[in-house]
Amino acid sequence: MQETYDILIIGAGPAGLTAGLYGSRSNLKTIILEKGIVGGQLNNTEAIEDYTGFEHIKGPELSSLMENHARKFGVEIRTGIEVKSVRRTGDTFEVKTDGGETYHATTVIATAGGTASKIGVPGEEELNGRGVSYCAVCDGAFFNGLVITVVGGGDAAVEEANYLTRFGTKVYLVHRRDEFRAQKILQDQIFRNPKIEVIWNTVVEEIKGDKEVDSVILRNLKTDERWEHPTQGVFIFVGFKPNTYFLDDHPKHDDSGHLITNDRMETDIPGLYAAGDLRAQLVRQITNAVGDATVAALAAEKYITHLHHIKATGGA
């Protein structure tokens, strides 16, 4: 019979690694399954300056530190494994992967983050990887000396537009509204940057190019004016969808699909916890991701202890 893990964690970003650290420190058999590489979105972040104790650190460097710390206490980490199904069966969970493997666990902590949202215009899919990108750190260097267009108005769009000026000769920031949703400090940075030009009240209607991007069709939402805007790179930052598709039991969630938990990070399914970007909350930062994960792992430990007590005492 296959061994049952005490805690199975889906996703190896900051939340997943922190949950793994606390789970293994509690002497619980803990495993992390990650479909990509350890670190998640940290690997796409050039610089981090808002994680307490680190005035300035590169994302991949922080990822490596977190991974090494978690592994020190014995957590098992498996990468290149995508979870396709999580179903509660009796007192445990059955977790199936894309490779046909099945894992069993007493508790599951979902920390799988989110997937970049698309703008859904012609040319976006066809030119993905050939001028269209969702990761400035990954692809920015490919556009050295070229004109870059960023789409969005939140923290990610504004921050990445500023970052991309180290490569592009000019960076245009296209936003559908007349003001940004981004933090004021980030807005101040782009307004001071002479290489950035903001195009307000405008949307991208089409991304054009034969083998690579060479222009976009823009439309002003107030005047309905359309024009062709030359550019060699289109970086899209319009949000992330929470990665909860693998949850067969459909726990309670908000309108955008983010999981709703209590203050112990418990969903409405016993033994299932959520932490980080896929949980419904006001902000999505590294600091609250690791805080969520700390609570989730320790709550899972108490849940497991309670189950063991019930079994040992016959429910007394």
The residues annotated as belonging to the active site are 135, 138-139
Report yes or no: 84 and 97 within 8 Å, Cβ to Cβ: yes
**Does residue 286 contact residue 14 with C-beta atoms inside 8 Å?**
yes
- Return the SS3 of 304: helix
Choose among 196, 315, 286, 272: nearest CA to 8.
272
DSSP string, 122-156: TTTTTTBTTTEES-HHHHGGGGTTSEEEEE--SHH
Burial degree of 135 (CB within 10 A; 0-12, 13-18, 19+): middle
Closest CA to 184 of 157, 149, 155, 152: 155
